[in-house]
Chain A
Amino acid sequence: MEPLLSIRDLSIAYRVGTSEMLAVENASFDVPRGAIVGLVGESGCGKTTLARSLTRILADNARIAGGQAVFDGQDIMALSERRMNALRWREIAFIPQSAMNSLDPVYTVGSQLAEVLCRRGNLSRRAARRRSEELFEWVGIEAGRLGDYPHQFSGGMRQRVAIALALALDPKLIIADEPVTALDVIVQRQILDQLRELQTRLGISVILVTHDISVVAYVCDRVVVMYAGHVAEAGPMAATLTRPAHPYTMGLRNAFPDLASAGGQLTPIEGAPPNLLHPPPGCRFAARCPFAQPACTDTVPAPVTLDDDHVVACHRWAEADTLRTRAERSETWMART
């Protein structure tokens, strides 16, 4: 089946002073229908910029520098502003990281739901009210709380409100930007379970942006690993996380408790991502990679498809199995000079 969204060679640039910086460069991946795709990476790797670009609402100093994002047969990046706006929220909705700041403090959550339902969904006041009650029931909040203001909800409840808001117009795609990052672990699970359940029931696709690979493992069908503006590795969740082919993914896996192999200890990846104003010429991970070779610092590795839609951008992709064994030992990550 044709994927819902197909991103090809997408680049997004930020103007910094007089120069430009590519926050996302030549990113390509697919979002199948009815799947949750995790977009994972350290902060500053471009995952949020990429996700936000799908709404075409970017920061003032950002622009789409090239590439396509074909959504349901049409390229989002080439649409006129009018046609793009018709798509927003009806087809592509958004769940922000902090619902506290993303809900308008001076309106009740009910009137913020009604705003979207009436102005964007062309529902009558009465129909909007019924729909709001239904949405609140779905996300597990009493309908009576529609009349409350955002600050009267707890963090987890606000996030549920944000989910209800995103589901309001039956979108095909929901972009969730770190939807559970600000919450404690138990609430995180509840919200993720809820999201998963609604997504399956309604057959929606979700792009879930997160820095937390355990969230990906918990809820995603597919995963896209980004590093310093590049897609390092992408593939089905189970295959990619159990048999990662990119050293960055291997390192990332070691750094999170739920996935570290039994008995293994948590090992952070030493160093910091490169400055994207002056990116290194070769593989962007080379400076932190324990397996880097001279070729790695010269040329950018081209993406290679392994099997099963599993794509990796690494010069040493053929040796992935051996590297993986070495990567499981924490000395590998510490013994570098």
Chain B
Amino acid sequence: MKAITAIGSRLLQTLFVLWAVVTILFLMFRLMPGNPMAAYIDPNFTPEQQDALMARFGLDRPLWEQYFIYLGNLLQGDLGESFFYRTPVTERILALLPNTLILTFSSLIVAYAFGILAGSYLAWKRGSRVEQVAVPVVLTTRAMPEFWLGMILLAVFSFTLGWFPAGGTRPPGAEYDGYWALYTSRDFLVHLTLPVLTLAIYSQGLPLLLMRSNMLDVMKEDFVTMARIKGLSPFTVVIRHAARNALLPVTTSFAIAVGYQIQGNVVVETVFSWPGLGRELVRAVSASDYPLAQGAFLMIAVVVILMNLIADLLYALLDPRVTRE
């Protein structure tokens, strides 16, 4: 019963944050310097097109009325029309979302697999030479600008060694029968490698350091000592007991990392010309394509907020002490 109330209030909080972000976005795009209508109306449109859009977004009405029209349109998934593509923003955003999610998830899976193993290993090797060198090195990878790391990998593996393509998701001119054929093609994997590597190198530090410090805590617990007294093998003690317990907070951090990564993707997608939400946001802002910029921003924000929520729920789900009370 208590758990249900807690989840309920957490869901309400999520709705509140969503509403607040949507409102901030509305104000940002309406109250910016210059023509308030610029958010939706391309000055290059014909007068008839401009009038039609004025009516659709109520731009001739007072601000508060515009706000409710905006909320109403949002609820119907209407984010306006891109100036550049002349197509609905929602359509464009949804087409780009998979690219961003694939990049984000594959890089984080690589980063977490590596980080968890290496973090456990470093906790196991506490105080050794390896650990003394590894921790500052990991801190240094957290200090790298992601796009710079991408540039270095591009310069080395693409332009100098010629092993990988310089950007995009497919060779020029290549056509595929739908998304599935593209995503499962060898070309796609080859294009995916460098951006995933870049993001993974940058992201592994969080799970690694978290896993290491959790392991150090758990190794002091009585049940780990008991496992040793039981004569279980060191592998069983470290993996089945210590690592399994240390893993809980690391797992929830995965969801937070997704939310974090998706905003950081902006620069890496740009470096690798990866057609995702982040690069689209940058291009839209540069080209003053405000509806598209607003839509991309909103989509990224939704992922961030949802991931924060999932992180909290996951924690409750994975720890038997929290769920089974």
Show the binding face of A for B, using Cβ within 8 Å: 55, 57, 85-90, 94, 96, 98, 101-106, 115-116, 119-120, 149, 151-152
A98 proximity list for chain B (CB < 8 A):
222
Set of chain B residues within 8 Å of A151, measured between Cβ atoms: 320-321, 324-325
Contact A102 B236, CB 8 Å, known A89-B229, A120-B230:
no
User: Contact size class for B?
Assistant: 20 to 34
Residue in A85, A90, A101 whose CB lies within 8 Å of B223: A101
In the complex, what residues of B have CB within 8 A of residue A101's CB? 221-223
B320 with A119: CB separation less than 8 A: no
Once A96-B222, A115-B232 are accepted as A-B contacts, the answer to whether A104 and B227 lie under 8 Å apart by CB is: yes
- Given A88-B231, A90-B231, A116-B230, answer yes or no on A104-B225 (Cβ-Cβ < 8 Å): no
| A and B contact pairs by CB, cutoff 8 A, 5 listed | A106-B248, A116-B232, A149-B320, A151-B320, A151-B321
Q: Tell me which residues across on chain A come within 8 A of B231, comparing CB atoms.
A: 85-90, 120
Produce 1/0 per residue, B236-274, CB < 8 A to A: 100011001100100000000000000000000000000
Bound together, the chains give a CA A120 to CA B245 distance in angstroms of 22
CB distance from A48 to the nearest CB of B (A): 12
Task: Please give the distance in Å from B119's CB to the nearest CB on chain A.
Answer: 18
User: Known: A98-B222, A151-B324. Contact between A104 and B229, CB under 8 A?
Assistant: no
Contact A106 B232 (CB under 8 A): no
Chain A residues within an 8 Å CB radius of B320: 105-106, 149, 151
Task: Chain B residues near A96: list those with CB within 8 A.
Answer: 222, 226
Nearest-CB distance from B155 to chain A (Å)? 46
Q: Is B125 at the interface (CB under 8 A from chain A)?
A: no
Contact A57 B229 (CB under 8 A): yes
B10 at interface, CB cutoff 8 A? no
Is B61 close to A, CB under 8 A? no
Q: Within 8 Å CB of B248, what residues of A?
A: 106
Which of chain A's residues has its CB closest to B318's CB? A106
* In contact, B222 and A89 (Cβ under 8 angstroms): no
CA distance A31 to B320 in the complex (A): 41
* B228 within 8 A of partner (CB): yes
The answer to whether B232 and A57 have CB atoms under 8 Å apart is: no
Residue in B222, B226, B245, B321 with the greatest tally of chain A CB atoms within 10 Å: B226
Listed from nearest, the 8 A-B pairs whose CB atoms lie closest are A88-B231, A101-B222, A104-B223, A102-B226, A102-B222, A149-B320, A89-B230, A55-B229
Residues of A within 8 A of B221 (CB): 101
Which residues of A sit under 8 angstroms from B244, Cβ to Cβ? Answer: 104, 106
Assembled-state Cα–Cα distance A152/B325 (Å): 8
CA separation between A188 and B259, bound complex, in Å?
Answer: 51
CB neighbours (8 Å) of B233 from chain A are 119
The answer to whether B321 and A57 touch across the interface, beta carbons within 8 angstroms, is: no
For A105, what are the chain B residues with a Cβ–Cβ distance below 8 Å? 223, 245, 319-321
Task: Establish whether residues A88 and B229, one from each chain, have CB atoms under 8 Å apart when the complex forms.
Answer: yes
B78 to chain A, nearest CB (A): 46
Contacts of B229 in A (CB 8 A): 55, 57, 88-89, 94
**Smallest CB gap from B126: residue in A:** A60
Q: Which one, A57, A87, A115, A149, contacts B324 given CB within 8 A?
A: A149
Contact, CB under 8 Å: A152 / B241: no
CA distance A134 to B241 in the complex (A): 25
Give the shortest distance, in Å, between B216 (CB) and chain A (any CB). 12
**Interchain CB contact under 8 A, A104 and B236:** no
**B225: which A residues are within 8 A, CB to CB?**
57, 102
Given contacts A104-B241, A105-B223, 15 further A-B contacts (CB under 8 A): A57-B229, A90-B231, A96-B222, A98-B222, A102-B223, A103-B223, A105-B321, A106-B244, A115-B232, A115-B236, A119-B236, A120-B230, A120-B231, A149-B321, A152-B324
Contact mask for chain B residues 256-294; partner A; CB cutoff 8 A; 1 contact, 0 none: 000000000000000000000000000000000000000
| Residue in chain A with minimal CB distance to B321 | A151
Cα–Cα, bound, A89→B226 (Å) = 10
State the Cβ distance, B131 to closest chain A Cβ, in Å: 15
A94 vs B229: C-alpha distance when bound (angstroms): 7
Please report which residues of chain B, range 55-78, place their CB below 8 angstroms from some CB of chain A when the two chains form the complex: none
In the complex the two chains form, what is the Cα distance from A98 to B222 in whole Å?
A: 9
A104 touches B228 (CB 8 A): no
| A153 CA / B37 CA spacing, docked (Å) | 65
Pick from B225, B244, B325 the residue with the most CB of A within 10 Å.
B225
B228: min CB distance to chain A, Å: 5
Q: For residue B236, which residues in chain A have a CB less than 8 angstroms away from its CB?
A: 115, 119
A120 to B233, CA, bound (A): 9
